[in-house]
């Protein structure tokens, strides 16, 4: 009976480990974007910058958690960061 319990416990442990591995692999990181201004300042956003149409600017949170607003006139480029 003891050997059956060990086999059952080992199988349960293997299933639990596989489940955790799959869950970790499926967890998606938030897409990061590179935001470049006209003076070549580079910001990295957490998620896609949002257009504030009334202020004619883009708003995003940088990688340090700071909320950044850049007017459309100052903006040079927004692109998805491929080196996450």
**Domain harbouring 49, CATH code:** 2.30.30.100
Residue, of 46 and 15, whose pLDDT is higher:
46
Q: Is the pLDDT of residue 78 over 60?
A: yes
pLDDT level of residue 8 (50, 70, 90 thresholds): low
User: Is 36 among the domain residues?
Assistant: yes
Flag whether 12 is in a domain.
Answer: no
Residue 11: inside a domain: no
Total domains in the fold of the chain: 1
- Alpha-carbon span 22 to 15, nearest angstrom: 11
Helix (H/G/I), strand (E/B), else coil: 47: coil
Residue 16: the pLDDT is 56
Domain membership of residue 10 (yes or no) is: no
Section 40-54 average pLDDT: 96
Domain enclosing residue 60, as ranges = 32-80
pLDDT bin (cut points 50, 70, 90) of residue 82 is: confident
Both structure tokens of 58: 């883009």
Question: pTM score, two decimals?
Answer: 0.64
Is there a domain that residue 21 lies in?
Answer: no
In a domain, 25, yes or no: no
Could you tell me if residue 60 is inside a domain? yes
């Amino acid at each position: 009976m003891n050997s059956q319990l060990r086999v059952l416990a080992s199988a349960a442990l293997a299933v639990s480990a596989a489940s955790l591995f799959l869950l970790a692999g499926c967890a998606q990181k938030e897409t990061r974007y590179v935001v470049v201004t006209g003076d070549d300042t580079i910001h990295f956003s957490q998620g896609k910058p949002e257009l504030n149409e009334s202020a004619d600017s883009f708003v995003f949170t940088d990688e340090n958690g700071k909320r950044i607003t850049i007017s459309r006139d100052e903006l040079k480029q927004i692109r998805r960061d491929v080196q996450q």
